[in-house]
Amino acid sequence: MKCKLTKDKARNTVLYVSLLCISSFMHAQNKFPTEDIEPYYDLSFTKTERDSLLSNLQDYQKSFQDIHRYKLKNSVGMSLVFDPIPAAFTIETHQKDIDWGLATEVKMPENINDIAFYPVYKLAVLLKTKKVTSTQLTKLYLSRIKKYGDTLQCIITVMEDSALKQAKRADDEIANGKYRGPLHGIPYGIKDLLSVEGIETTWGAAPYRGQVLDKTATIIKKLEDAGAVLLGKLTLGALAMGDIWYGGVTKNPWDLKQGSSGSSAGSASSTVAGLVAFAIGTETLGSIVSPSTRCGATGLRPTFGRVSRNGAMALSWSMDKIGPICRSAFDCGIVMNVIRGIDPLDPSTRTAAFNYNSKTDIRKLKVGYLQNLFESTYPTKTNDQKMLEAIKSLGVELIPLDISTELPLSAVRLMLTAEAAAAFDELTRSNRDSLLTDQRKFAWPNTFRAARFIPAVEYINASRIRTELIQEYYEKTKDFDVIVTPSFGGSQLLLTNLTGNPCLVIPNGFNDKGSPTSISLLGKLFGEADLVLFAKKIQDATGWEEKVPPLFKE
């Protein structure tokens, strides 16, 4: 067979033709036509070199087949663990006593249904002072899930019986003086890529409906130990992409004609609509930032390694992160303090302090802003400029900063694609990827297939460039506690997901179609406490996080 592939056609047809070429090579007696596929891989060999390749590639194929015959579970990670720590960076490990500055009293509303939209920091005071019970809260949220869950298409599994048992236990403990902290008795939901023993974990994807895993994720155990009440499992875009799952499209509570964005689709939608007090989401590349923006939630993407991923679906071992999606930044801090910490079952986790102190003067923080991005033309510029003025009115000096890079940032993104394809290799080779709802060109099925042609050498070299990127970003930003940026400005979202830095996204208004907009705060590695403190002061002064979508007020 003669395979002809020109450089011009390579970008569009290489996958199919390369497969034919390699197949023909494996069956050829005297010819190996790699000259036809070499342009795609940016290679050029002589005939003698091609001839010498034959036996090596045949050996590789045998190794591939041996690997394919071995059934790898998604839960098995890489033996190489990604480390985002740059040279000369020191992790603060000394944990001080946390001063939350919580109110001593919170007034109950005249209509108890209104507390569905109360932030965690207010619900915590109501529970501690016994003005409301966890059982009352749990029943309220469960009733709202039953009323609005189908409308928003944001719920996969309701865990009513176990939730009511957890709520009763919380009430009994609080009544007997055993108070576990601000999350005690607070009802919440989890993205359905986190496993609960004995409960279906679908990953939002049709091929995995009915999957029951034999473990409970570490983060859920931590929340249970803090006394939080798990209401159920929330939707995600299938295999953590977008807002399309096997049951439909999760909706934006502000506009039901829109999807909620994703992939933490149900986590953001249900929180903003008052179906849960807070939710847990995950981010690999925008999956907390994007749905939080679309739905008007406050979301915290933590530092890579801050929160254990044990029991979570793996998409990218070097980029996956788990964090809270809440009604306020203060809520995010309260949740983060519970879920953080080292876990022997996740080798990427680190011991690091979370030293939040409500008495810290934010004017003493060094705050940068990405001036070139804010001065560019983009859809949400007006709201962002107003937010910058609001920050300045708090007495904060904004220092211009440029984090742009000459490194091939977009090329390094192939690490995510390669890891995702490896995580779901069996799905691709079994052809069960055809069961996924979204079959568009950019969706997972085609992306996984294309990633099979990323050479290991290029993955490793991308990782080496990432090492330089981490160090470069650190050198440019090491003096700043907080960096203010448009949420989707330039390449900062990709950049900071690759470096592993935290991001806190907060609502800052609405666009001309009535949909929420946001602005983002970037932090130092393990610097979430400063982000939460800074964002809380902003939210205290602006109040955008208090807005409630009219369709769900009842």
Provide the b/e sequence for 288-314 (b: ≥16 CB within 10 Å).
Answer: bbbbbbbbbbbbbbbbbbbbbbbbbbb
287 is catalytic: yes
Report the pLDDT value the prediction gives residue 51, as an integer from 0 to 100. Answer: 87
The beta-carbon contacts of 477-480 under 8 Å, at least 24 apart in sequence, are: 477/368, 477/401, 477/403, 477/522, 477/524, 478/89, 478/524, 479/366, 480/366, 480/367, 480/368, 480/399, 480/401, 480/524
Report the pLDDT value the prediction gives residue 554, as an integer from 0 to 100. Answer: 81
Region of residue 134 (phi > 0: left; psi between -120 and 50: alpha; otherwise: beta): alpha
The residue among 132, 158, 134, 130 whose CA lies nearest residue 144 is 158
- Exposure of 224 by Cβ count < 10 A (0-12 exposed, 13-18 middle, 19+ buried)? middle
Cβ neighbours for 11, distance < 8 A, ≥ 6 positions apart: none
pLDDT tier at 21, thresholds 50, 70, 90: very low
Identify the three-state secondary structure at position 257: strand
Instruction: Using the predicted structure, report yes or no on whether residue 368 has a pLDDT greater than 80.
Output: yes
Report the pLDDT value the prediction gives residue 32, as an integer from 0 to 100. Answer: 53
Segment among 51-55, 347-351, 470-474, 500-504 with least mean pLDDT: 51-55
Mean per-residue pLDDT, 56-73: 93
Half-sphere exposure in the Cβ direction for 478 (13 Å, CA): 13
Mean per-residue pLDDT, 376-399: 98
Tell the residue number behind the tokens 């390669």, with chain if given: 418
Instruction: Using the predicted structure, report yes or no on whether residue 262 has a pLDDT greater than 70.
Output: yes
Q: What is the DSSP letter of 514?
A: S
- Given the residues 18, 270, 287, 308, select the one marked as catalytic: 287
Instruction: Using the predicted structure, report yes or no on whether residue 31 has a pLDDT greater than 50.
Output: no
Tokens standing for residue 322: 């788990």
- Given the residues 264, 267, 269, 290, select the one marked as catalytic: 264
Please say whether the beta carbons of 156 and 234 come within 8 A.
Answer: yes
Q: What are phi and psi of 247, to 5 degrees?
A: -100, 0
Mean per-residue pLDDT, 243-262: 98
Domains and CATH numbers, the chain: 1-70 (no CATH), 112-406+460-546 (3.90.1300.10)
Report the pLDDT value the prediction gives residue 427, as an integer from 0 to 100. Answer: 97
pLDDT tier at 57, thresholds 50, 70, 90: confident
What are the residues facing 244 on neighbouring strands? 249
Mean per-residue pLDDT, 353-378: 98
321 vs 327: CA distance, rounded Å: 20
Please say whether the beta carbons of 542 and 509 come within 8 A.
Answer: no
Q: Indicate the average pLDDT of the chain.
A: 94
Cα of first residue to Cα of last residue in the chain, in angstroms, is 68
Distances (CA, A) of 26 to 1, 31, 56, 455: 11, 10, 11, 18
Tokens standing for residue 193: 């890529």
273 vs 202: CA distance, rounded Å: 23
State the virtual CA torsion across 500, 502, 507, 511 in degrees, nearest 10: -30
CA 136 to chain centre: 31
Report the pLDDT value the prediction gives residue 167, as an integer from 0 to 100. Answer: 99
91 vs 145: CA distance, rounded Å: 41
- Given the residues 18, 122, 191, 318, select the one marked as catalytic: 191
Q: What are phi and psi of 342, to 5 degrees?
A: -70, 145
Tell the residue number behind the tokens 């003669």, with chain if given: 2
Tokens standing for residue 508: 């800052």
Can the peptide bond before residue 263 be classed as cis, meaning omega within 30 degrees of 0?
yes
What pLDDT digit, counting tens, does each position of 105-134 carry? 999 999 999 999 999 999 999 999 999 999
Q: Which amino acid is at 542?
A: T
156 vs 270: CA distance, rounded Å: 12
Tokens standing for residue 167: 């709520």
204 vs 244: CA distance, rounded Å: 8
Distances (CA, A) of 101 to 97, 105, 339, 502, 531: 12, 12, 20, 23, 16
214 vs 196: CA distance, rounded Å: 8
pLDDT tier at 3, thresholds 50, 70, 90: very low
The DSSP string of 403-435 is ---SS-HHHHTHHHHHHHHHHTHHHHHTTGGGG
Distances (CA, A) of 21 to 26, 27, 30, 74: 9, 10, 14, 31
Percent of the chain clearing pLDDT 70 (strictly above): 94
CA 186 to chain centre: 22
